[in-house]
Structure 1
Amino acid sequence: MNRYVKTALLAGAAWSALSTFAMAQDAPREGASSLDDVVVSARRRDEMLKDVPISVSAIGEERLEQTGASDITALQQQTPNATVQVARGSNSTLISFIRGVGQQDPLWGFEPGVGLYVDDVYVARPQGAVLDIYDVQRIEVLRGPQGSLYGRNTVGGAIKYVTNGLSSDPELTLRGAYGSYNQIDLMAVGSIPLADNVRVGGAIASYQRDGYGSNLTTGAEHYNKDVLAGRLSAEFEPRDNISVRLAYDRVQDDSNPRHGRRLLAGATPAGAVLPSVYDTRAGLGDDNSVMSQGASATVRIDLNDNWTFKSITAWREGETTTVIDFDNTPSPTLDIPGFYADDQLTQEFQLLFDFDRIQGVAGFFYLDGHAEGAFDTILGNAGFVIGTNGQVNTQSWAGFADVNIDLTDRLHLSLGARYTQDDKEGTVFRANYATATRSPLLGGTPRAPTLVRTDYTNSKDFSQFTPRIALSYDLSDDMTTYASFSQGFKSGGFDMRGDAILTPNTVNCYDPETVDSYEIGLKGALDRLTFAASIFYNKYQDQQVTTQVPAIAGIASFVDNVGSSTFYGAEFEGRLRILDNLTANFAVGYLHSDFEEFLRYNLTLAAYEDISDLVVLQNAPEWTGYLGFTWIGNVAGGDLAVTPSVSHRGDSSMFEFPNPILDQQAYTLVDLSIVWTDPSDRYTLGLYGKNLTDEEYRVGGYNFPGALFDNSIIGYYGPPRTVTASLKINF
């Protein structure tokens, strides 16, 4: 019996059992768990989680505190089929995959496959996007394409970071934490009303930590943290039916660069594999700076009982200066200094409506974005440097609508659509310069290039209509099942590393990619169990894959539309109230994928060839799981919450090409949190242990084998065992 048949039979049996049980208990049960208190805005309007025909994980402020989540990478542990990690070589650059769809290349010009939204503002660039968790109401993870409501670069899903609103009463919260590796976290959050209809507030947070390891060449900390973040906001209601929110945020990350650790010995003693996975012998330096900031204005006008108008205007910009020593030795064998900068202006208008049996939203979205940068590939063994710089300008607009129709009291039809138009202009320059020092593009000695490899400006338009349809049925007051189809779209673009000598087609851009997703789901409550389950089947077309491979002239970069793949899987997550004071939170994800076609450019033959039998989907473990128990009891007059948890990720490949040296085998993380809150809810003490078994696991890597690069195969690692104590005071 093949895998598809087995999956279908198991799914059918589970749905049959749960649905039958639900319909047999149509009347609400006293004391039963319910999803009615879980509110999300996945469809751009506040709704009960059980009523949304989308796979959504919602983690609230209380749960984030109970588990000691420090930044949004904690979502990876508690969300099925999700990869949310710090990018290779950085401290605050985000890579994210949902159900195997994403983008790990943070270079300017490339766009994420999972959209990040902060209070409904789209964040286009991954630099500075590893958001620390402070002053947050909840985080939502929308799994699967969100092509109708969010559209822009949500081909895999979306992450929504929702901050707290301002209180009408004066508030101040102070929090301090001290932990392993001299970790010192300080945070202050406060707000004050200036009048009955005007409130202002702000939050500031400092995160300092020594490195998990050291740079044995320079003596600097390695894997340290030095971040300062802050927000300012104001809310006012000039009239009873009008509300305005102004917000500004800024993140400054001056942590040292992460150079990684060699996994193979080099040709010299300096290239030996070091005992500690957090140490390095990189000689390129320790200068690194990431700045990201933005401002937004959100205006909501209640036109009448049925219609609401909403405007979201936002501006963001960022700058990054960094260095990555790929060879991890004092020699400039493969050194990459770089600079990135970006800015964006977005405007979104929404018209929300709510009638007796019809609810929904229609709107318009506009983005004007610019991203630029430069980097050097310093090749000491070859005696020269390849300098690269360029920019990409993007203008994007989209019209969208999403409507829910109550066909009967129990049967609901959801229809959504979005039309997106992207206009892009890319400029790429790439050239060889004599001597293995920085090129003039990055402030090196002024000199003419010895060979211009790429020099072009080109433009291209991309457009796509992305529909969504879902049919949901309320099996009972506490249970809903649904079936849906949705399509995601990510536009094409220009490879900022493209080498027109090795790959002449690079000047013509790469094409868009799409995902067609079919899903059935069931969510609701059964006695003490609150849960959400889904089964999905996705068709991935024209998939964009970025690879760099050694070449005689240095490094060849490809961004190809490699062909197609199919993947299917299942997810089950929820909360079980075992006793009145003991609950279990759980999440299980299964993902299976196959490439049907994978076209790769053969440098020797100067032609594309299908190598689908040699590749796998990257960052897509077959199994992911989470199990955490929370016991709450009265201790010393206050509430004590004890939360032990385990999270598991199966075997996964760093890239599409499996590499037994680089790829990460299955691993399990064990955490323990103890949080006590005094009877007045003024003081909260927390003790958080992370990775208590001190598991060593890779979260990224680079693969540059060969003598020219001194076998530079390097890995980047997640945090070791840490223990942190915190104190929070509410005034």
Structure 2
Amino acid sequence: MVHGIRSAAISTSALAVALLATPAMAQGEPAEPPRAPEAGETGLQDIVVTARRRSESLQDTPVAITAVSSSMLESMGTTKIADLQGQAPNLLITQQVSGAAAANISIRGLSFADIEKSFDPTVAVVVDGVFIGTSTGQFMDMFDIESIEVLRGPQGNLFGRNTIGGVINIRRTRPKNEFSGKFQVEYGNFDTFSGRAVLHVPVSDTVSAKLFGFHTRTDGFYDYFADGSPRGGGRNWNYGVAIGFEPTAEFDALLTVEQQESTHDNGVSSISGTGELFCAFALPIECDRNTTSDLYTTFSDPSRATYKSPAVTLEMNYDAGGVGLTSITSYRESEDSSFEDVDGLTENLYRVDRSSNYRQFSQELRAAGEFSDTFDYVVGAYYFDSHYNLDQYTDLFGGGFYRSQYTVGDSTSYAFFGDFNWEVLPTVRVNFGGRWTKDKKALQTMAPDATGTFADFGRNSKSWSKFTPKVSVDFRPTDDLMFYASWSRGYRSGGFSGRGLDFVSATTPFNPETVDSYEVGLKSEWLDNRLIFNLAAFFTKYDDIQQNITKSGGSTGNITIVENAASAEVKGIEADMTILPVDRLTIRAALGLLDTKFKGFVNQEAYTITDADGNVVEAGLHTYDYSAVDMIYAPDITASINFSYEQPLGTGELRLNGSYRYIDPYDQQISRDARIPVVQNSGTTVLTSNDPRVRTDKQNLLDASITYSIPVGDGEANVTVFGRNLLDDRGAATAFTVAGLWSFATAREPRAYGVSVGYEF
């Protein structure tokens, strides 16, 4: 079946090109970060980005973008997508340990932290033009990355409906028609080893191949309380082949076949406290622990999760001059299973055994060209289809595993879009366009009903459609200065709650959420292009926010569902700077400021009052008003400063790199403090903060590396000594409370250090 779908995907794309027979605009040159000048050059070099599906200078693009150097991250021993956190203003990326290769991503305070495949991400990760449809699979290795663009603000016009926060646009290296490669081995503390290899092989004058493989293993940085052994380790593999075909200067194709696999211990740390039910059964040492250094000790038995995800992508470009077509066809599937002791306590109070299967197919066709020298366009169509099933068994209070949920979900989306650039005056451009999207979601859930019988709540479906426009104006008084203003609307599809475990929660849909974003910005170059300074200010109106809310119900006593809970306003300022103060020294800095405010965010919780005989004398709903609490993953300040210095030494070169990142405290869940008793009346309680345990401490992250490279044969060998989080700043990466029952968290990486050896030719 899988092979048939893959063949159909490839055939569909090929047929589309043949039938349309329209010339295409190729993907264009990949983005490059600022770099120091070469011999004879005087300033920082131009940065080419493809944020608007065109190849254009970053300084000429009226969008808030940060281009991050993958080579800089690699030289500092940072090779995961999470290491982008803090490098771009108002960007957070943490790993969601409950899901394989799953990421929690927030841009400008907009996020949705959940691994369930019934929910769409708020920030899109796009790899080689392909949107990854769930948070699972977004947590990537970056060794083979050619360009990374962090696009901030709604990008629904060109990138789709689930991009209301922004897009991380990643392109990997393409096969080269020359024999070349890059290899690296690395060893660090926590018995961490990694090996990475990319090999380019010319097959013929028109065909080239790229073979790639990455492997990482680690024992983990947690300590098991029972015997002091390391916990939280895992093994990861990513391997595949990319075949490039370029028979003429007008046509090229790229076929990539790959697989990602992982096994890991996804244990969690206890942050349960007095007043929560599970602490009545736990050892005293397991409750009322701090949310910083205590997180690195675990009490529960080892957990195990596995993940396997094959994928195939076919990209084709045909260029016949003024007009053209790009086709991107992709199929991706995944199998993951997870056995978790979710409460993080020694006693087996809440354990789950989950397995799920997921697949997605997408097809995008884009035409691009020019009506005149002053008017260009990109238009296209997009189709996306996904299917998943989840089977879960639960053990509650050691009573034995029972089947607590079986869910099947489907999602179908198609869209038509256009984006137009019009230079109305030599110094003034207008950009406008929009996207019309049609979505359909369906969900069928089976779970124990009120009598304990495994019941089928039926298959339910609903459709939504939305038009999301965008318009911007930019003014360039000089070649080195641009001002711009824009308005854009973002849209995130509605759906059904995959965790709904009773009839109402499993069959009631939530509606789409929308964002209206207003932005003004400045892009500038100074000092003969030795200084680049970009500034953006924005105001975002966020309506019908989809929010996870935990309520009583279901066979386990609680259910977490999504509701359109509130609206919000987000204001902010972002600054990016790159400076070349002297030759061979490059300094980069970023600053993000956020101010967020909920509006009309209320949740009702049931209460009952009984008499001495157990008879109900009063029942109703108490209202909790969350409007004054902070939005999640929305720190007030994110800031970073990086430097890179290169110095010839002997026959080789010495490179020094350093990075400091500051992240203000932020909340990770909308959560009423579980230690506050439920109020037994029909009144309203106004909350001014979330549970303090789900709030991170401030983060001061210092990284550094020293690299020495030397010519060897036809290539270059290098040795890097690196350190991450040198200040050993410890605290939570994720934290959650569960309906007054228990609370858990995961820890961020402590001080890590090691050495890597590489060779590139």
The normalised TM-score by structure 1 is 0.88
- Worse-matched range after superposition: 72-81 or 215-224: 215-224
Q: Work out the CA distance in 2 between the residues paired with 1:230 and 1:405.
A: 43
Q: Secondary structure at the match of 1:467?
A: strand
Asked whether the equivalents of residues 659 and 704 of structure 2 are also in contact (C-alpha less than 8 Å), the reply is yes
Asked whether the equivalents of residues 241 and 257 of structure 2 are also in contact (C-alpha less than 8 Å), the reply is yes
Question: Which of 700, 703, 724 is residue 754 of structure 2 equivalent to?
Answer: 724
Q: Work out the CA distance in 1 between the residues paired with 2:569 and 2:331.
A: 37
Q: Deviations over 1:75-134 (max 9, x none)?
A: 112111111110143462111111111211111201101111110011102223210112
1:454 offset after TM fit, Å? 6.7
- Worse-matched range after superposition: 321-330 or 537-546: 321-330
Q: Deviations over 1:159-188 (max 9, x none)?
A: 111101122211122211111111111111
- Worse-matched range after superposition: 259-268 or 596-605: 259-268
* Amino acid of the structure 2 residue aligned with 1:307: V
The 5 A counterparts of 1:535-614 are: 535-549=537-551, 554-604=557-607, 609=623, 611-614=625-628
1:609 offset after TM fit, Å? 4.8
1:679 offset after TM fit, Å? 4.6
1:358 offset after TM fit, Å? 1.5
Partner residue of 1:507?
507
The 5 A counterparts of 1:114-513 are: 114-216=123-225, 221-262=230-271, 264=273, 266-267=279-280, 268-269=282-283, 272=286, 276-283=294-301, 285-302=302-319, 304-354=320-370, 355-380=372-397, 387-431=404-448, 450-451=452-453, 455-500=457-502, 504=504, 506-513=506-513
Q: Work out the CA distance in 1 between the residues paired with 2:652 and 2:354.
A: 52
Partner residue of 2:11?
none
* Amino acid of the structure 2 residue aligned with 1:620: A
- Worse-matched range after superposition: 359-368 or 374-383: 374-383
Asked whether the equivalents of residues 454 and 500 of structure 1 are also in contact (C-alpha less than 8 Å), the reply is no
Question: Which of 705, 713, 726 is residue 743 of structure 2 equivalent to?
Answer: 713
Asked whether the equivalents of residues 123 and 166 of structure 2 are also in contact (C-alpha less than 8 Å), the reply is yes
Asked whether the equivalents of residues 468 and 484 of structure 1 are also in contact (C-alpha less than 8 Å), the reply is yes
1:571 offset after TM fit, Å? 0.4
* Amino acid of the structure 2 residue aligned with 1:279: T
- Worse-matched range after superposition: 89-98 or 592-601: 89-98
Q: Secondary structure at the match of 1:65?
A: helix
1:261 offset after TM fit, Å? 3.6
Residues 1:660 and 2:663 are matched in the alignment: no
Q: Work out the CA distance in 2 between the residues paired with 1:382 and 1:478.
A: 70
Partner residue of 1:55?
64
Q: Work out the CA distance in 2 between the residues paired with 1:545 and 1:62.
A: 37
1:67 offset after TM fit, Å? 3.4
Asked whether the equivalents of residues 475 and 484 of structure 2 are also in contact (C-alpha less than 8 Å), the reply is yes
Residues 1:644 and 2:663 are matched in the alignment: no
Asked whether the equivalents of residues 91 and 258 of structure 1 are also in contact (C-alpha less than 8 Å), the reply is no
Where does the alignment leave 5 or more consecutive residues of structure 2 unmatched? 1-39, 608-618, 672-689
Cα distance change on mapping 1:609 and 1:514 into 2, 3 Å: farther
1:52 offset after TM fit, Å? 1.1
* Amino acid of the structure 2 residue aligned with 1:482: Y
1:31 offset after TM fit, Å? 6.5
Question: Which of 84, 87, 103 is residue 96 of structure 2 equivalent to?
Answer: 87
Q: Deviations over 1:641-692 (max 9, x none)?
A: 2112210110101112311123112121111111222256511211110011
Q: Deviations over 1:283-336 (max 9, x none)?
A: 3x432101122101111011x321111111110001110122222223221222
Q: Work out the CA distance in 1 between the residues paired with 2:700 and 2:118.
A: 35
* Amino acid of the structure 1 residue aligned with 2:179: P
Asked whether the equivalents of residues 117 and 123 of structure 1 are also in contact (C-alpha less than 8 Å), the reply is yes
Q: Secondary structure at the match of 2:82?
A: helix
Q: Work out the CA distance in 2 between the residues paired with 1:89 and 1:242.
A: 43
1:404 offset after TM fit, Å? 0.9
Q: Deviations over 1:257-284 (max 9, x none)?
A: 232343537333276257752231213x
Question: Which of 719, 722, 729 is residue 688 of structure 1 equivalent to?
Answer: 722
Cα distance change on mapping 1:278 and 1:49 into 2, 3 Å: same
Q: Work out the CA distance in 2 between the residues paired with 1:294 and 1:475.
A: 47
Cα distance change on mapping 1:550 and 1:217 into 2, 3 Å: farther
- Worse-matched range after superposition: 451-460 or 141-150: 451-460
Asked whether the equivalents of residues 499 and 506 of structure 2 are also in contact (C-alpha less than 8 Å), the reply is no
Asked whether the equivalents of residues 127 and 318 of structure 1 are also in contact (C-alpha less than 8 Å), the reply is no
Q: Work out the CA distance in 2 between the residues paired with 1:381 and 1:64.
A: 46
Q: Secondary structure at the match of 2:635?
A: coil
- Worse-matched range after superposition: 370-379 or 247-256: 370-379
Where does the alignment leave 5 or more consecutive residues of structure 1 unmatched? 1-29, 434-448
Q: C-alpha root-mean-square deviation of aligned residues, in Å?
A: 2.3
Q: Secondary structure at the match of 1:253?
A: strand
Q: Deviations over 1:57-87 (max 9, x none)?
A: 1113332223332110011121111111101
1:396 offset after TM fit, Å? 0.6
Q: Work out the CA distance in 1 between the residues paired with 2:717 and 2:401.
A: 60
Q: Work out the CA distance in 1 between the residues paired with 2:233 and 2:245.
A: 40
Partner residue of 1:445?
none
* Amino acid of the structure 2 residue aligned with 1:667: Q
Asked whether the equivalents of residues 299 and 346 of structure 2 are also in contact (C-alpha less than 8 Å), the reply is yes
Q: Deviations over 1:188-236 (max 9, x none)?
A: 1111111111101111011011121244459874221310111310111
Cα distance change on mapping 1:610 and 1:330 into 2, 3 Å: closer
* Amino acid of the structure 1 residue aligned with 2:666: S
Asked whether the equivalents of residues 620 and 652 of structure 1 are also in contact (C-alpha less than 8 Å), the reply is yes
Q: Deviations over 1:237-260 (max 9, x none)?
A: 233311110001211011222323
Q: Work out the CA distance in 2 between the residues paired with 1:623 and 1:294.
A: 38
Q: Deviations over 1:618-657 (max 9, x none)?
A: 0100000111122221223322121122101101011123
Partner residue of 2:34?
none
Asked whether the equivalents of residues 546 and 562 of structure 2 are also in contact (C-alpha less than 8 Å), the reply is yes
* Amino acid of the structure 2 residue aligned with 1:301: Y
Q: Deviations over 1:443-477 (max 9, x none)?
A: xxxxxx72457712111001100000010111311
